[in-house]
Structure 1
Amino acid sequence: MWWIWIIIVMICILLWFCIDFYIGRKKFVKQAVAREYPIRQSDIELIASGPNLFKKLFSDIEKAQTSIHILFYIVQDDHLGKKFFQLLIKKAKEGIEVRLILDRLGSHKITRKMVKELHDQGVQLYFSKKPSFPLIFFSIQQRNHRKITVIDGKIGYLGGFNVGKEYINEDQKLAPWRDYHLRISGEGVQDMQSEYLIDWKRSAKEKLFNQSLYFPPLEKGMMNHQLFPTEGIKIEDVFASFIRESKDRIIIGSPYFIPTDRVMKELVHALKRGVSLNIVVPNNSDHILVKEGSFKYLRTLLSHGANIYQFQDGFYHGKVFMVDDNLCDIGTANFDQRSFFLNLECNMLIYDKSFIKNALQQINDDLTQADFLKKEDLDSVSLFTRIKEGIASTISILL
């Protein structure tokens, strides 16, 4: 009879998880704020290579004169992470204000000893989204997935890269790593600074919003854009609206493609209107079940004429959403339910045609490293894969 008690305990735990998650999500949505920023004009550079990104980022940090504000989901305890920390310590010793926010679970390899060393050397480091009682399961699931850097209030970085050797192509399984990051200079940086300081207040319990040091005068750049921060709400509404208004072309790139029913409905309607839909996903996977979790959605879209590409050369981690020649969205949010409904994310809506043209060229270059996926490929998967699909379907919001 012992096995009956094991089953009862497992059912109780599962029920507890469900209740915890339901109450936590409901409470969070009730308190969530949908912040909107105006359309700004800045100069924006697209960076699709980890080595190029960190060369530019570290150079800008090295040149900082007043303040360095950084938020990452993941910083690894490896040689790149150590180089990153040493650079921040160096700048702190020069008298520069250095603030660093890390997601508590994403950066779980950063130990208390490392945190103390950074604090002792003048780097102010705080963790975001620590698991908390009583809704422990929900708090574990909701992560701060943002990657924001603001230097001297004048230069900003935003995108999909984290800090670790895999992001500079030194992980044999996932190399080369394809991702998209933005370097922003111009008036739009003030909104990134505001968003960073909101996360800083939550993590460090310190208000810095009204300090002019962090908001220097900024000149307009050449590209129209709009910061798009989200906290478990709003992405679904905005993306569904953009899809509904599409006329010619939609391009989606995401490492995890697990859309909502509402977004799927809009994508199917767009295909029926004659809009071309191209989706780029990785062939390799870095997390369990996420690849299989996408299959049922991809089958449906393939049956309605979508083009699906599986990136073959390394790992595709890019997050891009393009509509016609009017919009390019790049940032931290994946095209999945976790980003839509759980995580704290931050994207940039870019309306500049020259940037969109450049981004489209990058995507086309990536497609040369991708294979065309056919519906027959997904219809003929193994029984084991079908079982994994079923499991993934039941926990899609957590993948």
Structure 2
Amino acid sequence: MNFGWILLAIIAGLALWIYTDFLLGRKKHLANAKTNTLPIRESNLAIFAEGPKLFDDLFSELKKAKQHIHILFYIVQDDKISQEFLSILKEKAKDGVEVRLLIDWVGSGLKRKTINSLKSAGIEFAFSQMPKLPFLFYSSQVRNHRKITVIDGQIAYLGGFNIGKEYNNQDPKLSPWRDYHLKMTGEGVADLQSEFLEDWHAAAKVNLLQNKAYFPALEKGKIRQQLVPTEGILLEEMMSDLISKAKASIFIGTPYFIPSKRVFNLLRNAITRGVSVTVLVPLVSDHVLVKEASYPYLRTLIKDGAEVYQYLNGFYHAKVLMVDDEVCDIGTANFDKRSMFLNYELNCLIYDGDFIKKVKRIMTEDIMNSRKAALDDFNRALLKEKAASTISYFL
């Protein structure tokens, strides 16, 4: 047998292993995924769309922590803004505050030396979603994409920002970075605390969910909201339900527009019944092929009558779905197959008219900083588009 046949056999064997690993891993994932629904709470919310303002507020609240700090991010880089963030955590740990930091294994940009310094300072550190046997390939694709901060069980944050220079407008290609992040007080904080502690239990093998010290009494706020944690299941159902109930308008803001077949068909059906559909995506991209993967969907929607806008003022990374100005979904999930079927995500449904008006003002500003796209804007990279469509599930 010559070298060519040996190489072909190796490639075929590898492809078969990946295919089998993925199918069996997916089956196990769905069997174990959490599918519980959280109740509607009454909380207070603030929204941040700019990194510097968010980090100023977040760092200030972290410095005031008295008892415990629980943080989960998909990405924490090892750069200047990250070191400022980590220095605050070290100081609080040295002051006797319990500090737990959970970072996705793939998303982490921290060096081993940095991690060791965190542990030496008294911070409890763990990686989330480390690949493991027997389904090594599948488990490497399931990422914890959530972003949660809970301070003293009373103040919490969630949304699209991670920790790194690009999120603080210090990346020449992607600045300014546009994102939506929520600050929460009131009843909903307990749900965010529970979600963090469940992820901590899975990663660190330490169960703190029954510790009442992490769940202080919380007063009701003024805004009706509902947290929706998803684990590669339920997100498609939630989005489908919102879209199918739309009567007048749907607004989608996302950095990656690669919807499932079911969600895409529901969007097209909404247009057919007279619903106005607007999609906002970035003009520039932060990942290879994600723009091209969106092209066939965006072309079709434009032909159907939707309005598609491309954000011009930096990089648009917000994740928002607003229906009829009556319900607004803000969180960590992108409008793509990876968020729907693989990632651990966390979204917040908001049912408050006044707060939705605030979000709409931000969205209107973002539309003003965009250009309306035409069909020709999505017809320039057919080879890349075909390649992107082939692997769109993993982008």
TM-score (norm: length of structure 1): 0.97
Aligned length: 394
3-state DSSP of counterpart to 1:181: strand
> How far is the alpha carbon of 1:144 from its aligned partner?
0.4
**Separation (CA, whole Å) in 2 of partners of 1:308 and 1:9:** 44
Please name the residue that 1:45 is paired with. Answer: 46
> How far is the alpha carbon of 1:321 from its aligned partner?
0.5
> How far is the alpha carbon of 1:95 from its aligned partner?
0.6
| Deviations 1:272-325 (CA, angstroms, capped at 9, x unpaired) | 011000000011011111000000111111111000001111111000000002
**Are 1:387 and 2:383 matched, yes or no?**
yes
**Separation (CA, whole Å) in 1 of partners of 2:293 and 2:50:** 27
> How far is the alpha carbon of 1:112 from its aligned partner?
2.5
**Separation (CA, whole Å) in 2 of partners of 1:180 and 1:3:** 51
Please name the residue that 1:170 is paired with. Answer: 170
| Deviations 1:184-204 (CA, angstroms, capped at 9, x unpaired) | 011110000011110010111
More off after superposition, 29-38 vs 243-252: 29-38
Please name the residue that 2:265 is paired with. Answer: 265
| Within-5 A mapping of 1:219-258 | 219-258=219-258
3-state DSSP of counterpart to 2:174: coil
| Deviations 1:97-140 (CA, angstroms, capped at 9, x unpaired) | 10110001100x31232222111111111110111122111111
Provide runs of 4+ in structure 1 moved above 6 Å.
none
**Separation (CA, whole Å) in 2 of partners of 1:240 and 1:181:** 23
Please name the residue that 2:16 is paired with. Answer: 15
**Separation (CA, whole Å) in 1 of partners of 2:132 and 2:347:** 27
Please name the residue that 1:396 is paired with. Answer: 392
| Deviations 1:43-95 (CA, angstroms, capped at 9, x unpaired) | 10010000000000000000011110000000000011111111000000111
| Within-5 A mapping of 1:35-74 | 35-74=36-75
Counterpart of 1:176 in structure 2: which amino acid?
A: P
| Deviations 1:192-241 (CA, angstroms, capped at 9, x unpaired) | 00111100101111111121211111111110000100000001111111
Counterpart of 1:276 in structure 2: which amino acid?
A: S
| Deviations 1:311-353 (CA, angstroms, capped at 9, x unpaired) | 1111110000000021110010000000000000001000001
3-state DSSP of counterpart to 1:33: coil
Counterpart of 1:129 in structure 2: which amino acid?
A: Q
3-state DSSP of counterpart to 1:251: strand
3-state DSSP of counterpart to 2:226: strand
The two structures, once aligned, show a CA RMSD in angstroms of 1.0
Counterpart of 2:165 in structure 1: which amino acid?
A: K
Counterpart of 1:14 in structure 2: which amino acid?
A: A
Please name the residue that 1:281 is paired with. Answer: 281
**Separation (CA, whole Å) in 2 of partners of 1:249 and 1:274:** 9
**Separation (CA, whole Å) in 1 of partners of 2:241 and 2:270:** 11
> How far is the alpha carbon of 1:14 from its aligned partner?
1.9
**Separation (CA, whole Å) in 2 of partners of 1:253 and 1:4:** 48
3-state DSSP of counterpart to 2:35: coil
3-state DSSP of counterpart to 2:149: strand
Please name the residue that 1:93 is paired with. Answer: 94
5+ unaligned residues in a row in structure 1: which ranges? none
Please name the residue that 2:26 is paired with. Answer: 25
Counterpart of 1:248 in structure 2: which amino acid?
A: A
Please name the residue that 1:144 is paired with. Answer: 144
Counterpart of 1:4 in structure 2: which amino acid?
A: W
**Separation (CA, whole Å) in 2 of partners of 1:174 and 1:31:** 38
Task: Give percent identity, aligned residues only.
Answer: 51
Please name the residue that 2:345 is paired with. Answer: 345
**Separation (CA, whole Å) in 2 of partners of 1:371 and 1:18:** 41
Please name the residue that 1:308 is paired with. Answer: 308
3-state DSSP of counterpart to 2:100: strand
| Within-5 A mapping of 1:196-215 | 196-215=196-215
> How far is the alpha carbon of 1:12 from its aligned partner?
2.0
**Separation (CA, whole Å) in 2 of partners of 1:369 and 1:60:** 31
Counterpart of 1:98 in structure 2: which amino acid?
A: V
TM-score (norm: length of structure 2): 0.98
Please name the residue that 1:299 is paired with. Answer: 299
3-state DSSP of counterpart to 2:345: strand
